[in-house]
């Protein structure tokens, strides 16, 4: 595992212990691994997740 992968693995582990769902963690990690992720893309993803939580 590369160092970057190790950091992302630890990151995912941290989010999981905070109770975040696997699907969201996967989407978030893939987006962060992209070359040029923007704040707007990230906010869209987070707001989407918040709305899902809101619906639940």
Applying CB under 8 A, which residues contact other proteins? 1-8, 10-11, 13-15, 18, 20, 28, 32, 35-39, 42-43, 46-47, 49-51, 53-54
Please name the residues in contact with 25: beta carbons below 8 A apart, sequence gap of 6 or more. Answer: 12, 15, 16
Q: Residue 28 CB, nearest distance to other proteins (Å)?
A: 7
Task: For other proteins, give the closer residue by CB, 6 or 22.
Answer: 6
DSSP state at residue 34 = S
Distance CA 7, CA 14 (A): 10
Q: Residue 8 CB, nearest distance to other proteins (Å)?
A: 8
């Amino acid at each position: 595992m590369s160092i970057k992968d190790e950091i992302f693995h630890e990151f995912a582990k941290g989010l999981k212990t905070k109770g975040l769902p696997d699907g969201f963690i996967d989407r978030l990690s893939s987006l962060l691994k992209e070359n040029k992720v923007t704040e707007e893309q990230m906010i869209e993803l987070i707001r989407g997740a918040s709305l899902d939580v809101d619906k639940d």
